[in-house]
């Protein structure tokens, strides 16, 4: 499952370099990225639960790497983009509900 998720979301074994040496450098870096995302999600999950996105045609009982990377993206994007805004404000530059929905959608689409 780890290899399938890493291949689907990080491009492991689908690199488009021209030489074997470049591929040999890229694959460990991608597995390192996979590890960093997993460790960051582990820290985030100490304070919250993992949101598991399901579709009508595909139900799942446990989170996959796509759920994990979306959780990490959401945390990184929300902290860096809007760190200057008030903590309790109902409006940033757009309504908070709209911004959260947009961020959630982009985290899974990226």
Say if residues 52 and 63 touch (Cβ distance below 8 Å): yes
Q: What's the chain's average pLDDT?
A: 76
* The pLDDT of residue 41 is above 80: yes
- List of residues 6+ apart from 7 with CB closer than 8 A: 13, 14
The pLDDT assigned to 109 comes to 78
Query: Which of 9-18, 28-37, 77-86 is predicted most confidently?
Result: 28-37
- pLDDT level of residue 39 (50, 70, 90 thresholds): very high
Q: Assess whether pLDDT exceeds 60 at residue 85.
A: no
Poorest-confidence range of 44-58, 64-78, 85-99?
85-99
Cα of 79 vs its chain's centroid, Å: 14
Q: How far apart are CA 109 and CA 65, in angstroms?
A: 13
């Amino acid at each position: 499952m780890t290899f399938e998720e890493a291949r689907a979301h990080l491009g492991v074994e689908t690199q488009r370099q021209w030489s074997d040496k470049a591929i040999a450098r890229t694959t460990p870096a991608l597995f390192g990225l996979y590890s960093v995302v997993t460790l960051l999600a582990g820290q985030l999950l100490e304070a919250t639960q993992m949101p598991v996105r399901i579709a009508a045609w595909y139900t799942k009982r446990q989170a996959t790497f796509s759920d994990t990377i979306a959780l990490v993206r959401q945390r990184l994007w929300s902290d860096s983009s809007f760190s200057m805004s008030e903590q309790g404000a109902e409006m940033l530059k757009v309504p908070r509900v709209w911004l959260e929905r947009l961020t959630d959608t982009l985290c899974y689409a990226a």
